[in-house]
Each structure stands twice: as structure tokens, then as C-alpha cells.
Amino acid sequence: MYKIVRKKILNPTVTQMEIYAPLVANKAKPGQFIILRVNDEGERIPLTVAGTNPEEGTVKIIFQVVGATTELLNHKEEGEEIADFAGPLGVPTHTEGIKKVCIVGGGVGCAIAMPVAQEFHRLGAEVTSIIGFRNKDLLILEDEFRECSDRLIVMTDDGSYAREGNVTVPLKEMLEAGEHFDMIITIGPLIMMKFVTLAAKPYNVPVTVSMNPIMIDGTGMCGGCRITLEQDGKKVTKFACVDGPDFNGYEIDFDEAISRGRMYFDYERHAHEEVCNLFKKA
Amino acid sequence: MAIIPKKHEMPLQAPEVRAHNFEEVALGYTPEIAAEEANRCLNCKNRPCVNGCPVNIRIPDFIMKIKENDFEGAYQIISESSSLPAVCGRVCPQETQCEEQCTLAKKFEAVGIGRLERFVADWHNSHNTEKAKAPEANGHRVAVVGSGPSGLTCAGDLARKGYQVTVYEALHTAGGVLVYGIPEFRLPKSIVAKEVETLKELGVDIETNVIIGKTLTVDELFAMGYEAVFIGSGAGLPNFMNIPGEAYKGVYSANEYLTRSNLMKAYQDDPHTPIMKGGKVAVVGGGNVAMDAARTALRLGAEKVYIVYRRSMEELPARREEVEHAEEEGIDFRLLCNPVEILGYNNPDNPRDPKNGFVSGIRCIRMELGEPDAGGRRRPVPVEGSEFELDVDTVVMAIGTSPNPLIKSTTEGLEVNRRGGIIVNEEGLTSRANIYAGGDAVTGSATVISAMGAGKVAAKAIDEALSQK
């Protein structure tokens, strides 16, 4: 069992938890993820590591309540335990040789983008961060980003806070103005990562995207997390759990990934409603 | 006394009943049937069956105990050689091992050794109330990576000799392929749990949720004080055919399909982990895993299940018994057929049609057998212009796996072969001192019992190496 040491509500649908898992805390690096189960009958879900405290033995996770499992997790309080917490999984974000980086985060993806931005900042790279949210109420981690970014641009889709528009708007402006980045790293909804990649393409800036497909074991056994890349004109199957979760944005078949991500959409919506009803009754 | 030419039949659930439930297909011998079957054993001098067994169980000796109605005595003999008798009695391919060598098999059917082993193990599990006793510790510590058949066997053998053994398991439950891969109707999970419990009683410590190569490396295990490490991490990434359409929703690897149903219990009525149920299902492949997937699909409510295999019935690698059971249950074998494309639904008028991107069928080509290949099996060759389509909603690819890269990539000096399997000598020793390996991590996809044999060989070698220290 793994104890929830701290819990913090970041916005109405996003929660941060610090879980006592010393072996994972010792090893996890930005870009890696963990797999957890809330209870004994529960499903396994992957969540990206949002930070670690090796001295204390804790691992920070930030999640959005989107389905049954995240709903159950969100009802756990400080001091309570969850059944399983395994990791770190996946390959850490590649940082070598990158001196000037643009981090583009969207929604809860910003939780994953944050430790990556912090890592680049720690390594002495020049960090530009663009973080986008649907509206002011959903804004998270602004202070954390400000601390580790040389330049921070906050966007809201409806203009209810900071600048109005989506994250590709300022990115395009910068690239158009001749700004150079060694790497753009984008983490967020697939559709956003697709458009960030498209925006960067005319300027030949390398783009890394962080994929978050459906997964079961997370250790390279089930193959559910497979994604298709196009490399040198050939289609190649890769597994996000062991080959990723970071991939070259230009090689990803985003439309396929979007379609596969919705495989259990109806099931998940139903399961989430069931869990919500249970909590309402109780 | 005249020899009864045939084995005593295994009592089974009727096909039309069992095709709709996940309860065990084979019900097991009664003590009466077991005693009668034991009487068929000639107790011959040269005991060829023992050599046919990868873990060399003293087969005639345990059968003699059954004749004497000393079932617990029979169990004690089996457990000298096997850590998982109730498992092996169910999933071992006895027909190509001990039973193939049986003297009786020259003229008649072999003694039903597997059925007797299962009977003895089940009898022990339901009658024995004593806990296994942990032997006196010898002060040596060994780490085992993976709690599948090779790891559990290696751990059990070493624990019986007084070693302090820790088994590290990546998943949340111990058992490896025995819990995520082999379905309930062939190997009830309660039986695996019972065997794991016995190992714990022997003093084996099982740590779940630890991924060796990630959470801890093999070198860190040595730094923690383990003197030897056995790697039984199993097979890895599932293979796909690299044909168009494999990314459509409804295409699973057998590993994923079976893991969802077995480990994550998606077969239950209101599961936490979803799986596609019902409709028409095509399973590609001809091994035991393919049979397991096809029969699971049926039990999940499929109206039609095909096995698509590129060779003929003769080359089908699955156990004969599993194939017969599958046929009885109504699985439709499409032999000498190979998929060339998976077809998907796409509504051109409505890009938001929820069915878009789901599997709608599978296009296959008929095959004929040509010249034998390097392995001696006749190579299947496509028959030009013979393509046809099957309407299906789900496709399960059961065409093997490739070794997992996690340990190799984090263990310096650990040599692997061209296919990624860890290279070991005849004692299970790898290219690194004190690191042993066995099972699918070495051989690629193989059987439970061969993995157990490898775990046993390595345990013996580890004992020889460490007891000299």
C-alpha cells in the first residue's frame, strides 16, 4: 500500500498528490510516468511524474478527474492509501545539448510540462514556456512556471485570463519573428500537440511530444500503447511505455492516436457516471 | 491382468455449457478414477517418463503411492522436483514430454501422468492443513526477477535449501503469465495463488510493483546484498504482422486481450477495466496463446470466433487437447489462411460517426504448403488471387512476442542474442558473473514447464556456486 502524504486541489477538476513511494522517488526523472491502482479491483492507469522528493520518499502526481479511476483517486484523502504505485516507467525527457527550449503545455498537460521546464532551468538552458487553458478557472501552476522560465506566456481560450487564444498563436509569432529554439517540447491534448507540430514545421524546429495512450502494464508487455510513426517513408510501430512517452512530433500519426484514445469512450463515460452516483448516494 | 488400452477419460464440463462460463473446463479425476489410472502404470525398470520430464519428477514412484491410496505421499514425491504441481498438472504438454516416452505408449495410450499429477496436487491442496515449513536459513541471499513459472520454481528450489529469496514482480499480482496469460478456465487463479502462498510459507519474500531495470537495476540488487540474481522476466513486446489496419480500434495483441480478461478481470459483469465483448472475433495464430484468446472471446460472448492460421492442422503448434476443446466449443478454424489487411469502418458522410476507426473485417489470402523451411516445417506460400474477407469486430494477434528490453538496456555486460534473448550457458549462467536467467527471457515464447526447467537448472547452479563460498 502507498500512502497519500499530501493532497492539494489545484482547480475544480485537477488535484495534486504526493505519494510515499521511496524507490520510485529515488529514480524518477522528468518525462517518466508511474502506473497506479486505487484499490484491489481497480484498473491500472498511467500518470506522469510531476516531481519527486527523494529525501522524503515522495512522488508528486497531478491528475484531472476524467473517469472512474481518477474520480476514485480524487476521493482519497491525506493519510489514506492506494493499492499500487509502480515506476518510474518510460524514457526520461532528452535534455542533452539543448540550450534554448520552448515548452508548450496545455491544460493538465502543464503538470507534466512543469518538471521538464524545471529540469531545463536547472541545467542552465534558456526556457520559454507557453501554457494554455480553456479559461481562468482551470489555470494551474502559473507561479511554478514563472519561477523556472526566462519567459512565460499564459493563454486562455476565452480570454478570461491573460492573453486570449490558443498556445500556437504566440508560438507562431515568435517563430515568424525569427526566434530560434533548439527544441520545442509540447505536452497536452493530442489535438494541441498536433497543431504545435504543424506550427513549427515551416521553421524546421525539432518538436518533442509526450504521448499518453491507453496502457495496462506499462512495462512493454501488452502492446496496448502502440503508436505509429513514419520514419524515412516507412510506418513503424512503437510502444509508448518503453520507447516513449516522448517522440518526435513530425513522425507521429496523430489522427490515429486520437482515434485509438477514444476506443473505450462510451464505456469510460458510463463507468465515471456510475462512480459519481455511488459517491452521491454515500 | 489385461492392460486397459486407453487413459481414463478426464471428466469435462460439456462444451455447450463451458463455452459460456469461465469455470475450469477439466474437472479432474476422482480418487477412484485416479487409482484405476495409476494401475495402468507398468512401473517399468527403465522409467523413460522421468527423462521426458523437464524437471525429472520421479513419476513411477508417485504413481505407486497413488496405487497405495497414499495421495499425500504421492504429493511429497512430486514436490521434491516441482514447485508448482497443480499448475503443471494442468498446463504441461505431457503428450510431448513424459507421456510420449511412456513404455505403454508403444502399444496403447500412455498413462495419464498429467491427470494424475493434477489429481495429487488438488488432493493435497484440499486436504492438507499444515503449512509448509521454512527450512533453517543458510545465510545466503538471492534475488529473483519475475514471478512467473521460471522465477517461482527457482525461488522455491532455493528456499527449500535455506536461501533467503526475494522475488521482484513488476505487476501488482504474483504469477506472471500464469495470472495474466493463461485463462481461468484452463488454470484457475486460486490455484496459482495457492502455489504462491506455499512459497511464502517457505520463506520467499515477494515484492510486487518493482520493475527491475527501472525501479531498481540488477547491479543495485547486488549492492543491496544479494549474492546471485536470477532473471525470469518473461517474454516482452507483442509481435504484430505489420499489415495495414493494425491500429484500428478492436485490434489487440493476445497479451493485451488476455491481460485485460485474466489479470484485470474484464470478463466480470461490471469490470473496472474494459474489453470488447461479443460480436465476431478473429484470432491470428495457432499456438496455445491463440487457443486461449479464441476460447476467451467465446466466453466473453462472441457470436463467432475464428482461428486464422497460415499452415495446416498438422503444423498447428497448440496442444492437441486445447485444439480439440476449442473445436468442440465451436471455434471455426480457418487454416492455410493468412491475413493481409485489417479493414476498418469509416463513414465518409459523418466524420463523427462513433463507429469510425473500429474494425469491420479482416482480409485474408489462402495459403498452400511448399518446401520445408530451416525448422523442417513446410513453408506456407500464398495462393495468388485467393483473397477473401471475414466480417469481424475484433482481431487478436497471437503471433508471439519479442524479448523485453528493460533489463538488457540497464545491465552492462549482459549479452543477448540476435533476437534479444539473454544468452546463458547450460547452467543458466549469463555473460555476467552471478547473474542467471531462464524462461522466455532466454528462449522467447515457450512453455510453462520449459521455463520451470530453466528455473530449476539455475537454482541448482546458484546453490553450487554459493554453497562453496
Query: What pLDDT digit, counting tens, does each position of B42-89 carry?
Result: 999 999 999 999 889 999 999 999 999 999 999 999 988 888 889 988
* Residue finishing a domain among B378, B399, B420: B399
Domain-located, residue B4: no
Chain A residues whose C-beta sits inside 8 Å of any chain B C-beta: 23-24, 27, 37, 41-44, 68-69, 83-89, 216-217, 219-224, 226, 228, 235, 237, 239, 242, 253, 256, 259-260, 262-268, 271
**In-domain check, residue B7:** no
CB–CB of A35/A86 below 8 Å?
yes
Residues B392 and B424 in one domain: no
Predicted pLDDT of residue A133:
95
Per-residue 3-state assignment (H helix, E strand, C coil) for chain A: CEEEEEEEEEECCEEEEEEECHHHHHHCCCCCEEEEECCCCCCCEEEEEEEEECCCCEEEEEEECCCHHHHHHHCCCCCCEECEEEEEECCCCCCCCCCEEEEEEECCHHHHHHHHHHHHHHCCCEEEEEEEECCHHHCCCHHHHHHHCCEEEEEECCCCCCEECCCHHHHHHHHHCCCCCCEEEEECCHHHHHHHHHHHHHHCCCEEEECCCCCCCCCCCCCCCEEEEEECCEEEEEEHHHHCCEEEHHHECHHHHHHHHCCCHHHHHHHHHHHHHHHHHC
Nearest to A86 among B209, B246, B250 (CB): B209
Query: Mean per-residue pLDDT for B222-238?
Result: 94
Question: Which superfamily, per CATH, for A2-89?
Answer: Translation factors (2.40.30.10)
Domain assignment of residue B460, given as a range: 141-236+402-466
Confidence of residue B231 (pLDDT cuts 50, 70, 90): very high
Length of chain B equals 469
pLDDT at B184 > cutoff 70: yes
Question: Mean pLDDT throughout B412-430?
Answer: 94
Q: Tell me what pLDDT residue B96 has.
A: 86
Query: Is residue B315 a part of any domain in this protein?
Result: yes
Whether residue A23 and residue B170 make contact (CB cut-off 8 A), yes or no, is no
Residue A225, pLDDT score:
92
A221/B272 Cβ within 8 A: no
Buried/exposed A189-215: b ≥16 CB within 10 Å, e otherwise: bbebbbbbbebbeebebebbbbbbbbb
Say whether A37 and B210 touch across the interface (CB within 8 A). Answer: no
CA nearest to A65, candidates A108, A98, A104:
A108
Identify whether residues B248 and B306 lie together within a single domain. yes
Q: Which residues of B touch A266 (CB under 8 A)?
A: 354
Shared domain check, B378 and B330: yes
Q: Answer yes or no: do B75 and B95 share one domain.
A: yes
pLDDT reported for residue A282: 65
Residue type, B45: K
CATH number at residue B447: 3.50.50.60
Q: Is B74 contained in some domain?
A: yes
Per-position pLDDT tens, chain A of length 282: 999 999 999 998 899 999 999 999 999 999 999 999 999 888 999 999 999 999 999 999 999 998 889 999 999 999 999 999 999 999 999 999 999 999 999 999 999 899 999 999 999 999 999 999 999 999 999 999 999 999 999 999 999 999 999 999 999 999 999 999 999 999 999 999 999 999 999 999 999 999 988 889 988 889 999 999 999 999 999 999 999 899 999 999 999 999 888 888 887 888 888 888 877 776
Regarding whether B116 and B41 lie in a shared domain, the answer is yes
* Residue B394 shares a structural domain with residue B406: no
Instruction: List chain A domain ranges.
Output: 2-89, 100-210
B284 and B384 in a single domain? The answer is yes
Q: Which of B171, B251, B396 to mutate to test the interface with A (most CBs of A within 10 A)?
A: B171
B219, B251: one domain: no
Nearest-angstrom CA–CA distance, B439 and B375:
21
Structural domains of chain B, count: 3
pTM of the model: 0.92
Query: What pLDDT was estimated at residue B1?
Result: 60
Mean pLDDT of all residues in B132-158 = 93
Q: How far is A83 from chain B (nearest CA, A)?
A: 9
Q: Are residues B41 and B158 in the same domain?
A: no
Residues A220, B236: C-beta atoms closer than 8 Å: yes
Which residues in A lie closer than 8 A to residue B264 (C-beta atoms)?
A: 43-44, 216
Same domain, B220 and B254: no
Local confidence band at B245 (pLDDT 50, 70, 90 cut-offs): very high
Q: Residue B90's domain is classified under what CATH number?
A: 1.10.1060.10
Here the cell at position A163 is 492573453
In a domain, B26, yes or no: yes
> Is residue B86 in a domain?
yes
Same domain, B256 and B388: yes
Rounded Cα–Cα distance for residues B145 and B168 (Å)? 5
Q: Residue B167 has what pLDDT?
A: 98
Q: Is the pLDDT of residue B403 over 80?
A: no
And the C-alpha cell for A25?
A: 522517488
Is residue B5 in a domain? no
* Residue where one domain finishes, among candidates B127, B155, B187: B127
Q: Are residues B220 and B283 in the same domain?
A: no
Q: Identify whether B136 is part of a domain.
A: no
Strands A234-239 and A226-231: antiparallel
Domain A100-210 has CATH 3.40.50.80: yes
The answer to whether residue B271 scores a pLDDT higher than 90 is: no
